[in-house]
Structure 1
Amino acid sequence: MANFSITRRHAGALLFGTALTALSPLSAIANPQPGGTLTITTTPEPALITNALSSAPTTAELATKIFDGLLEYDMNLKPIPSLAESWSTSADGKTVTFKLREGVVWHDGKPFSSADVQFSLMEVVKTHHPRGQGNLGPVTSIDTPDARTAVFNLAHPYPPLMMGLSSLEAPIVPRHIYEGTDFRNNPAVNNPIGTGPFKFTRWEKGNYIQLDRNEKYWRPGRPYLDRLIFRFIADSATRAAGVERGEIDVATFGTINPVEMRRLEKLPNLSIAQGGYEAIAPTMMLELNTQRAPFNDKRVRLAVAYALDRQFITKNIWYGFGKPATGPISSVLKGAGAFTDQGILRFDGKDRLDVANKLLDEAGLKRGKNGVRVKIFHDPAPFGEDWRRMGEYIKQALSRVGIEVELRNRDYPSFVRQVHNEYDFDMTSTWSIGMADPTLGVQRQTWSRMINPKVPFGNTAQYSNPEVDKLWEAAQTETDTAKRNQIFHKLQETLVADSPLIWIMEMDLVAVQNKRVQNLITSPLGIRGGLYDTWLQR
């Protein structure tokens, strides 16, 4: 890695700097120091780095530095300006007008305009992003009366619209690069041009991706850093050693075993970067293929849900970086009223294994002479060693109720192809972004209109339930907050009782950081933000 040894002299590390936690003395320094290289390790290496076409976690971590969205969000999840400097909504809620920022240019020097917004959202994001339908579903067209005005026309008022216009959810891509091309096969997918704080420079496959400072970024004086290096290291122990030695500044969640994270956070130069995931409400889950045996039978799905000990998984596999999930909607939305745990089927009773065995008997899956009722394949998410460890636990836990599990550990491209494109799986583990409104992130997992093998990370379970569809569609149009929350409560009750997915844990997507890094967490998107305010204390 030719440039790495040179730039490492300027690399700092990471600080416990978030509005949600007490700040260390270093974070109180008022004068940011420009320059330096921030080195981040993440896993797995992404298949592509344009997140208008993918919601894969590592794609999002990279692409949100390259692209901007119309909006960003403060720590209270309130929309704040980005490429849009102001906006207004019509009295009937069916027209939203955005005034765009003047003087913004793409990384290739071409001017940014409303035509880019119209093209990006209607032609690319709405069709190709896994959450595009949720974010932009009722947007029927976008008018561009002039270069600085984008007028969204909606089929009906849509309460969640303003929560899904960040660079994470709705990145603005250059029309002059993509128009008239096959988007997924356009060379710009992996040689991207954006308006964001950092420019794509280099990708050495299997090693690192380099992003350099956008000297023409529209935020004055930003970004502070000269360079971002995203390193891909195959072994978790090697990643942990790199953080400990100061060779790596930030290790994203999942790159280091949780037990090692607990050890590293005790070292004087390192800490856990708290917060920075409030706007994405991440939840860990198992996806079940509801279109083939045995999981086309609800009783078998429920038996698996009863057989798994979520408390054990949270404590002993993920070392407390989260809490057991009760259903599809995260408890981070409790304050907004969308979450409930009342009337929701629970799987943690003392007799849970007895219940699981009874359900399997009722489903006609009797034990054979060897005690096995049925054999299934389980594809653990290819996001690191801890997912494989959880797979081993699942194998042991299900064997207790007569389900034999064969683990298939695949590389990331193979996993996406077989699970998300070909639906060739029985059960898989994954985690998903729920977002600040369930319509934006959670809906795609169980809304039948999101069954699409061309768009990964949608309704992978291929679950189709007319009652659930009607509830999701009612939530899209209901403007009364109390009534809308009641719809979400009914969805939680219905989905948990049917269990097309098994919700395991609400995740704390914390990173390990070196305390020299300042302002790593400055928004509810955390390291999935632009990092333009991040700087290094040297």
Structure 2
Amino acid sequence: MLLIKSWKNGVRALALASAVSLAAGAAMAAPQRGGTLVVTTTPEPAIITNALSSAPTTAELATKIFDGLLEYDFDLNPKPSLAESWEISPDGKTITFKLRQGVVWHDGKPFTSADVQFSLMKVVKEYHPRGKGNLGPVTSIDAPDAHTVVLNLAHPYAPLMKGLSSLETPIVPKHVYEGTDFRNNPAVNNPIGTGPFKFAKWEKGNFIELQRNEKYWREGKPYLDRLIFRFIADSSTRAAGVERGEIDVATFGTINPVEMRRLEELPNISIAKGGYEAIAPVMMLELNTKRAPFDDKRVRQAVAYALDRNFITKNIWYGFGKPAVGPISSFVKGSGAFTDQGILKFDVKDRLDIANRLLDEAGLKRGANGMRTKIVHDVAPFGEDWRRMGEYIKQALARVGIEVELRNRDYPTFVREVHNKYDFDMTSTWSIGMADPILGVQRQTWSKNINPEVPFANVSQYSNPEVDKLWEAAQTEMDQAKRSQHFHKLQELLVADSPLIWLMEMDLVAVQNDKVQDLITSPLGVRGGLYDTWVKQ
């Protein structure tokens, strides 16, 4: 974990000496058991079982309650979790997992291979927004004994071993869900897992409490007695709570970035950088490609040219990220999947002239009031900064003759109207790209992911046969160089078509009180289990 303590002239400066000193001090201190960690996040989740939802706040809570088969180190290599070991057949079409013995669910029932079989095939693959991407070629799962599962694949599938964490494929109890309507089962919001913390209480509009799992299979962990997730409506109140020491950790988006920069200068508060490498988050606008005016590629491109990504990054998000060039984040550059070559660039000097020309060509002439068309922008219900960005977008698009009405909906309404009913023109949001583009990015533009029953999928309803073929080729190609070529072509096509407008690669940093130790210990950060986290008493 790096602790950032300075911000001058809009440029981050890393206080290396301080970070090394603090890290050395933490390394020498033995973890202390006990205590409560208070986290503030927003918005309050609709459900807290992430097998059925990929909503960010759902994931933040659920990954403490549920385990996955695997975890990952900072180089994104797999590590054991509920699976102690695994073996991949030479043809890549069979993966055998040996499961950990002696694990029990929070209700005391034993964890077995039947739970894995049920979770992956009946719940995650069918109901999780990224389930098809994670488990698409898995045709069946055998359970030859209580502690062995064998995944049978239609073809070798490189992304599979990168998507088996508690974030992506949580293992849920078969004995609780089998034979029920999963999404309406009471356990969705009173969950039973095998994870380090047990669900205790949900006081709607106020907090969710998790308690230490005394029978957790990681001996001696977790260190904390309780986790409290507080839901506070006002950003300034959240910031004040951090400053007064009432809140230990504030997740990204809960506090205005300008306030984050102020708070990090205080002696007892730091910004915990990292812990998002495995999720490669990107901020974007989603455009309804089935509704005018965004059924015309020229209009979509005009919007992309009209927005200044550098301004958005520096002046709205205060440098917590960098401008995006396309759907795939540079976080995965090491795999070869990312490229910024051959991609249409929107940050050119004459971008407004190009935008106006494209709108003219699309037949959207300026009226007497200077406007060409009117759209409704549904602002992401993730906090005040998203509304600030909405105001900027309204001003920026007005310059090229697009009148924007801003609509702010509460989170459940936003999901229902946008993701289930497709009743929108343009939305703002952010998305988890994951360690492999197939796992997180594919769902946004693969036509087979147009599904109103699954939120946070292909909400733009974008369909392009050439794009589909490339996504499907990348699923089956095992040669990384050839896979990268498919991803590079996808980026070229998608940026040119602009069914979404990718704005910023996000640094999902958390604000923390310095009494909190070992907050970021995995590439999932605060979205991990927090079983290593402790607080100085």
TM tier, smaller: over 0.9
- 8 Å Cα contact 2:105/2:173 also seen in 1: yes
1:232 maps to: 231
Return the letter of the residue paired with 1:35: G
Q: Report the Cα distance in structure 2 between the residues aligned to 1:23 and 1:484, rounded to whole angstroms.
A: 42
Return the letter of the residue paired with 2:304: A
Return the letter of the residue paired with 1:418: E
Mapping of 1:283-302 within 5 angstroms?
283-302=282-301
1:7 maps to: none
Shift in Å, 1:332: 1.0
- 8 Å Cα contact 1:15/1:516 also seen in 2: no
Moved more, 247-256 or 326-335: 326-335
Mapping of 1:106-185 within 5 angstroms?
106-185=105-184
Query: Per the alignment, in what secondary structure is the counterpart of residue 316 of structure 1?
Result: helix
Shift in Å, 1:23: 5.8
| 1:452-490 deviation per Cα after TM superposition (whole angstroms, max 9, x unaligned) | 000000001000000000000000000111000000000
| 1:115-154 deviation per Cα after TM superposition (whole angstroms, max 9, x unaligned) | 0000000000001000000000000000000000000000
Moved more, 299-308 or 21-30: 21-30
Mark the runs of 5 or more structure 1 residues left unpaired by the alignment.
Answer: 1-13
1:92 maps to: 91
Shift in Å, 1:26: 4.2
- 8 Å Cα contact 1:15/1:27 also seen in 2: no
Mark the runs of 5 or more structure 2 residues left unpaired by the alignment.
Answer: 5-15
Return the letter of the residue paired with 1:350: K
Moved more, 388-397 or 327-336: 327-336
Q: Report the Cα distance in structure 2 between the residues aligned to 1:15 and 1:188, rounded to whole angstroms.
A: 37
Mapping of 1:510-521 within 5 angstroms?
510-521=509-520
The alignment yields a C-alpha RMSD, in angstroms, of 1.1
2:206 maps to: 207
% of aligned pairs identical?
A: 82
2:468 maps to: 469
- 8 Å Cα contact 1:197/1:213 also seen in 2: yes
Query: Per the alignment, in what secondary structure is the counterpart of residue 460 of structure 2?
Result: coil
Query: Per the alignment, in what secondary structure is the counterpart of residue 334 of structure 1?
Result: helix
| 1:220-271 deviation per Cα after TM superposition (whole angstroms, max 9, x unaligned) | 0000000000000000000000000000000000000000000000100000
Shift in Å, 1:305: 0.1
Q: Report the Cα distance in structure 2 between the residues aligned to 1:445 and 1:23, rounded to whole angstroms.
A: 43
Q: Are positions 1:39 and 2:38 aligned together?
A: yes
Q: Report the Cα distance in structure 1 between the residues aligned to 2:2 and 2:130, rounded to whole angstroms.
A: 31
Shift in Å, 1:28: 2.6
1:325 maps to: 324
Q: Are positions 1:268 and 2:300 aligned together?
A: no
Shift in Å, 1:22: 4.0
Q: Report the Cα distance in structure 2 between the residues aligned to 1:524 and 1:298, rounded to whole angstroms.
A: 36
| 1:385-439 deviation per Cα after TM superposition (whole angstroms, max 9, x unaligned) | 0000000000000000000000000100000000000000000000000000000
Q: Are positions 1:490 and 2:498 aligned together?
A: no
Q: Are positions 1:65 and 2:72 aligned together?
A: no
Q: Report the Cα distance in structure 1 between the residues aligned to 2:192 and 2:278, rounded to whole angstroms.
A: 26
1:423 maps to: 422
- 8 Å Cα contact 1:286/1:504 also seen in 2: yes
Query: Per the alignment, in what secondary structure is the counterpart of residue 462 of structure 2?
Result: coil
Q: Report the Cα distance in structure 1 between the residues aligned to 2:241 and 2:150, rounded to whole angstroms.
A: 48
Q: Report the Cα distance in structure 1 between the residues aligned to 2:510 and 2:291, rounded to whole angstroms.
A: 38
Query: Per the alignment, in what secondary structure is the counterpart of residue 87 of structure 1?
Result: strand
- 8 Å Cα contact 1:15/1:517 also seen in 2: no
- 8 Å Cα contact 2:2/2:273 also seen in 1: no
- 8 Å Cα contact 2:106/2:192 also seen in 1: yes
Q: Report the Cα distance in structure 1 between the residues aligned to 2:386 and 2:334, rounded to whole angstroms.
A: 31
Q: Report the Cα distance in structure 2 between the residues aligned to 1:492 and 1:301, rounded to whole angstroms.
A: 16
Mapping of 1:42-53 within 5 angstroms?
42-53=41-52
Q: Report the Cα distance in structure 1 between the residues aligned to 2:359 and 2:513, rounded to whole angstroms.
A: 49
Q: Report the Cα distance in structure 2 between the residues aligned to 1:316 and 1:524, rounded to whole angstroms.
A: 27
1:378 maps to: 377
Matched pairs, number: 523
TM-score for both structures, normalised by structure 2: 0.96
Q: Report the Cα distance in structure 1 between the residues aligned to 2:2 and 2:93, rounded to whole angstroms.
A: 43
Q: Report the Cα distance in structure 2 between the residues aligned to 1:449 and 1:112, rounded to whole angstroms.
A: 33
Q: Report the Cα distance in structure 1 between the residues aligned to 2:243 and 2:2, rounded to whole angstroms.
A: 14
Q: Report the Cα distance in structure 2 between the residues aligned to 1:388 and 1:28, rounded to whole angstroms.
A: 41
Return the letter of the residue paired with 1:436: A
Q: Are positions 1:413 and 2:412 aligned together?
A: yes
Q: Report the Cα distance in structure 1 between the residues aligned to 2:20 and 2:446, rounded to whole angstroms.
A: 40
| 1:303-338 deviation per Cα after TM superposition (whole angstroms, max 9, x unaligned) | 000000000000000000000000000011112110
Q: Report the Cα distance in structure 2 between the residues aligned to 1:77 and 1:265, rounded to whole angstroms.
A: 29
Change (3 A) 1:15 1:338: closer
- 8 Å Cα contact 2:2/2:274 also seen in 1: no
Mapping of 1:15-30 within 5 angstroms?
16=3, 22=20, 24=22, 26-30=25-29
Q: Report the Cα distance in structure 1 between the residues aligned to 2:452 and 2:54, rounded to whole angstroms.
A: 14
Q: Report the Cα distance in structure 1 between the residues aligned to 2:387 and 2:140, rounded to whole angstroms.
A: 44
- 8 Å Cα contact 2:141/2:149 also seen in 1: yes
1:256 maps to: 255
Query: Per the alignment, in what secondary structure is the counterpart of residue 439 of structure 2?
Result: helix
Query: Per the alignment, in what secondary structure is the counterpart of residue 338 of structure 1?
Result: coil
Q: Report the Cα distance in structure 2 between the residues aligned to 1:241 and 1:436, rounded to whole angstroms.
A: 35
- 8 Å Cα contact 2:44/2:231 also seen in 1: yes
1:10 maps to: none
Change (3 A) 1:515 1:389: same
| 1:12-59 deviation per Cα after TM superposition (whole angstroms, max 9, x unaligned) | xx9949xx9646154233310000000000000000000000000000
Change (3 A) 1:518 1:23: farther
Q: Report the Cα distance in structure 1 between the residues aligned to 2:332 and 2:21, rounded to whole angstroms.
A: 25
- 8 Å Cα contact 1:15/1:271 also seen in 2: no
Q: Report the Cα distance in structure 2 between the residues aligned to 1:218 and 1:145, rounded to whole angstroms.
A: 23
Query: Per the alignment, in what secondary structure is the counterpart of residue 334 of structure 2?
Result: coil
- 8 Å Cα contact 1:54/1:129 also seen in 2: yes
Q: Report the Cα distance in structure 2 between the residues aligned to 1:207 and 1:26, rounded to whole angstroms.
A: 35
Q: Are positions 1:442 and 2:441 aligned together?
A: yes
Q: Report the Cα distance in structure 2 between the residues aligned to 1:22 and 1:118, rounded to whole angstroms.
A: 45
Return the letter of the residue paired with 1:334: K
Query: Per the alignment, in what secondary structure is the counterpart of residue 199 of structure 1?
Result: strand
Q: Report the Cα distance in structure 2 between the residues aligned to 1:413 and 1:332, rounded to whole angstroms.
A: 31
- 8 Å Cα contact 1:173/1:194 also seen in 2: yes
Q: Report the Cα distance in structure 2 between the residues aligned to 1:138 and 1:26, rounded to whole angstroms.
A: 47
Change (3 A) 1:251 1:23: farther
